Structure 1
Amino acid sequence: MSLMIMFSVLVALTFSVTVICDDVRERRILLSDPDYIQQELHQIQVKLQEYDALKTEVTSLRSTVNELLAKKAGEKGVVYVRWGRKDCRGNGTELVYSGFAGGSNYQHTGAAAEYVCLPPDPLWGPHKDISSYAPAFMFGAEYEDPDLFGMPNRNEEVPCAVCRSTSFSTSIMIPARTTCYPGWEEAYTGNLAGGYYDHAASSEYVCVDEHPQTLIGGGTTDDNGKLFYQVRTRCGSLKCPPYEEDKVLSCVVCLK
């Protein structure tokens, strides 16, 4: 190695050592400087405050998310009518009210088709006593098939229960089934009911619970009104099989 190169290396090493020593000396001076220490402590305090503020914000956001999730869960629910019963069954289901099945008279050609569940505690509006030019009518309902519904006679009156499930968001009545399809949970099962085919009034199909109850005080008089009949199959446009001729149809109400 030439003298020139050795001299250059020596100079570089000397410079590096000098820089390191100066940096160490400067740090020692700074660490012994009260102003420098105070400045560093202040920076640490600022960082801690920023951390605390960030932690508080995260906690607030987490609380907001939990509130939104709780609200979302609270909004979940589905309402259905359990025909022929005064109560609701499990499945996270609550009773909204227990009432009286009703609807239009089976003889009226202008009758409304649907069955309704009337509450037991009506509140009358301001027009309760006005005269009427051309009214619709609301009647109670009776079972018209004592064998199917297990009634002592044809004059028993029909209860109903409006139920709300907070565990599900959808309900469906499936005719001709006694169990739900996979992925659905049973609310109740029973027998399909509707109006008599030769009556003047239109009707609809509803599912009457397999263990129907009656209203207290009914059954002594044949008041008619809205009527519940069994529903039987007729082959032709209805494919047989899988269906069979002149059989009583069951039903099930399912939740999801």
Structure 2
Amino acid sequence: MAFSLCLLFVLGSIVFSLQDQTIPEVSSPQDETVRDVHSPDDQIVREIDRRLLLNDPQTILVQLEAIQREMQTLKTLVNSQQTKIQSMQTLETLVNTQQTKIQSLDTLVNSQHIQMQSLQSQLTKTANQGLGTTYTVWGRKNCPALNGTSTVYSGISAGSPYHVGGGGANTLCLTHNPDQPPSDFPTYREKDGWLYGSEYQFTYRNYAIDDDVPCAVCLAAYSTAVLMIPSKTSCPSSWNVEYRGFLTSQSATDGRPSYDYMCLHENAEYLTEGARQQNYNGHLFYPVITQCGSLPCPPYINAKYVTCVVCSK
């Protein structure tokens, strides 16, 4: 439709231009008139009037054939451009399809990566289960909730009384719900060992002197080793901090039995069973200080309290 309209427009333009042309009239040689025209500059222009009949079929046919050839050339060019445009559109569609596929694959890869990380974490936890180790935190009712550590039980610190020689040297974490021995077990005898509850012998932060000392037994489920390092508040490389605190033990008074050294939690609390600060003087927790001489100073400082840290791996 558009091509036909364009052809009619071109034909109309040609006819209109032919009507405006001045073409010499066909005549015999004797009827030809030659005139001299003098311009203001004395230039002579020879004019020969000729006329072309507008109804000459041969002339119109030649013009139409030329127009048809031009239109055919233009049509061929247009078709070629349309073919190129269609090819480009097809290529663009293909590129968009490939981009969509790439995005889908990228999403799939990310999803698989997350799943692999999750499976690896589960595998590590599964491999470590059953290989855990235990330790006791002194001065706290529950274990620190980190590094996969959980509370086995909450208890009461106890040990040999401060004023009696003999007995056990280590401090125990007793349970809150003891199981009684069988009824036929031997009864009290004069020289049996004694077990007393523990008391703080100093005041600091959350507790006061003569408050009872709680404890908790902890399971470090993903660790195979636990150690207490005195005089440090940080763990070696690749070890995890379970808790930090201060070194405690028995008083240095002559004739008193020796206790083990314990790492008392830096934010220790008091036992809530019974009244506070009842001075029964049982198993006592004293802080530990340094003494220069055989102990090198520096790096140590005389009469300074000693820090500690419990580490797991």
Report the TM-score, using the length of structure 1 for normalisation: 0.69
Deviation at 1:106, TM superposition (A): 0.4
1:152 is displaced (CA, Å) by: 5.4
| 1:150 corresponding residue in structure 2 | 205
**Deviation of 1:132 (Å):** 2.6
Shift of 1:71: 7.3
Confirm or deny: 8 A CA contact 1:109 1:201 kept in the other structure: yes
Correspondence 1:189 to 2:244: yes
Q: Report SS of the residue matched to 1:187.
A: strand
Q: Aligned letter for 1:145?
A: F
Computed over aligned residues only, the root mean square deviation of the Cα atoms, in angstroms, reads 2.0
| CA distance in 2 between partners of 1:70 and 1:206 (Å) | 30
> Which digits, 9 at most, give the CA deviation of each residue in 1:13-36, with x for residues without a partner?
xxxxxxxxxxxxxxxxxxxxxxxx
Q: What is aligned with 1:224?
A: 281
Alpha-carbon spacing, 1:236–1:93, altered in 2? closer, same or farther (3 Å): same
Residue 178 of structure 1: aligned partner: 233
139, 149, 161: which is aligned to 1:105?
161
1:143 maps to a residue whose letter is Y
Larger Rg belongs to? 2
Aligned to 2:307: 250
| Number of the residue aligned with 2:260 | 204
**Share of identical aligned residues, percent?**
37
How far apart, in 2, do the equivalents of 1:184 and 1:70 lie?
17
| Secondary structure in 2 matching 1:75 | coil
Contact 1:154/1:219, CA 8 A, preserved across alignment: no
Q: Is the 8 A contact 2:230 2:247 kept in 1?
A: yes
Q: Does residue 213 in structure 1 map to residue 269 in structure 2? A: yes
Structure 1 residue aligned with 2:152: 96
* Separation of aligned partners in 2, 1:222 and 1:141: 10
Look up the equivalent residue of 1:213 and give its one-letter code.
Answer: E
**2:207–2:269 contact (8 Å) kept in structure 1:** no
- Other structure's SS at 2:143 match: coil
2:225 partner letter: T
CA contact (8 A) 2:140 2:215 kept: yes
With over 3 angstroms needed to count, the CA separation of the structure-2 counterparts of 1:248 and 1:79, relative to structure 1, is same
8 Å contact from structure 2 (residues 161, 196) kept in 1: yes
SS at match of 1:100: strand
Q: Deviation digits for residues 8-61 of structure 1, max 9, x if unmatched?
A: xxxxxxxxxxxxxxxxxxxxxxxxxxxxxxxxxxxxxxxxxxxxxxxxxxxxxx
Cα shift at 1:236? 1.0
Q: If the length of structure 2 is used for normalisation, what is the TM-score?
A: 0.57
Counterparts in 2 of 1:33-44, with a 5 A limit? none
For 1:219, give the aligned amino acid. R
Report 1 or 2 for greater relative contact order, CA contacts < 8 Å, sequence distance ≥ 6.
1
Equivalent residues of 1:157, 1:218 under 8 A apart: no
> Which whole-Å CA distance do the structure 1 matches of 2:174 and 2:282 have between them?
14
Q: How do 1:108-127 residues align onto structure 2 when only pairs under 5 Å count? A: 108-127=164-183
User: Match of 2:182, as an amino acid?
Assistant: P
Native 8 Å contact 2:207 2:270 kept in 1: no
The residue number in structure 2 matching 1:235 is: 292
* Deviation sequence 1:104-150 (CA, Å, 0-9, x none): 0000111321111001110112047742332111110000011xx33
